[in-house]
């Protein structure tokens, strides 16, 4: 299983700090211009809630299956991209169930695949997770996910022991 980032909407304040940090991390410069501002996540806001949305690093990634030239592929920790192979068909954009892939095309330039790569190659991990002022984002690994699942199962087992069996009597009519 790949690693992925989990967002907790109840903690998100919609400040867009994660978006800016992501864009900076991928340009290599703290100076951002509109033509180079490509965050790999987007903060979605409504009247009641805000939450960053990014690639879910799917195990069976539809974007990878849809790419006719293997510009997207399953890496060891994330769904990775090779923009130099991209033919700008946008099949991956259409296939992504979360709407988090963008292809940026400029005349006479190689298309740029814009999707979360978990800040691959950065020793201190994803920039969005590091900068979030409310800790609304967390990088989840297979081991951490397994621990969380076990904890939930143990809590559920304890609750069922405290509440007794939830058996309903069934009347049979003969």
Domain residue limits, the chain: 1-57+116-158, 59-115
CATH for 59-115, options being 3.90.1150.10, 3.90.650.10, 3.30.70.20, 3.40.50.300: 3.30.70.20
Residues 62, 94: contact at Cβ < 8 Å?
A: no
pLDDT of 62 strictly over 90:
yes
Averaged pLDDT, 145-152: 84
- pLDDT over 80 (residue 77): yes
Integer Cα distance of 40 and 54 in angstroms: 7
Taking every pair of Cα atoms in the chain, the longest distance, rounded to a whole number of angstroms, is 79
129 pLDDT above the threshold of 90? yes
What pLDDT is stored for residue 161 in this prediction? Answer: 78
Rounded percentage of the chain residues whose pLDDT exceeds 90? 61
Predicted TM-score (pTM) of the model is 0.78
- Out of 3.60.15.10, 3.90.79.10, 3.30.70.20, 3.40.630.10, select the CATH number for domain 1-57+116-158: 3.30.70.20
Mean pLDDT, the chain, whole residue set: 88
Q: For residue 72, what pLDDT band results from cuts at 50, 70 and 90?
A: very high
User: Is 169's pLDDT higher than 70?
Assistant: no
Identical fold between 1-57+116-158 and 59-115: yes
Cα–Cα distance between 10 and 134 in angstroms, integer? 10
Bridge partners (DSSP) listed for residue 74: 79
pLDDT score for 173: 57
* pLDDT tens, residue by residue, 5-48: 999 999 999 999 999 999 999 887 767 777 778 999 999 999 89
pLDDT at 171: 53
């Amino acid at each position: 299983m790949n690693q992925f980032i989990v967002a907790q909407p109840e903690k998100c304040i919609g400040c867009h700090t994660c978006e800016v940090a992501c864009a900076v991390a991928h340009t290599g410069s703290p100076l951002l211009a509109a033509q180079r501002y490509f965050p790999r996540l987007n903060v979605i806001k409504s009247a009641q809630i805000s939450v960053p949305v990014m690639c879910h690093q799917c195990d069976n990634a539809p974007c990878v299956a849809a790419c006719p030239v293997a510009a997207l592929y399953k890496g060891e920790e994330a769904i990775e991209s090779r923009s130099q192979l991209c033919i700008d068909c946008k099949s991956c954009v259409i296939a992504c169930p979360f709407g988090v892939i963008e292809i940026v095309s400029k005349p006479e330039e190689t298309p740029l695949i814009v999707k979360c790569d978990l800040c691959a190659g950065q020793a201190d991990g994803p920039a969005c997770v590091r900068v979030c002022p409310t800790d609304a984002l967390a990088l989840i690994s297979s081991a951490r996910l397994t621990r969380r699942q076990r904890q939930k199962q143990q809590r559920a087992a304890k609750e069922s022991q405290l509440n007794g069996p939830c058996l309903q009597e069934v009347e049979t009519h003969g």
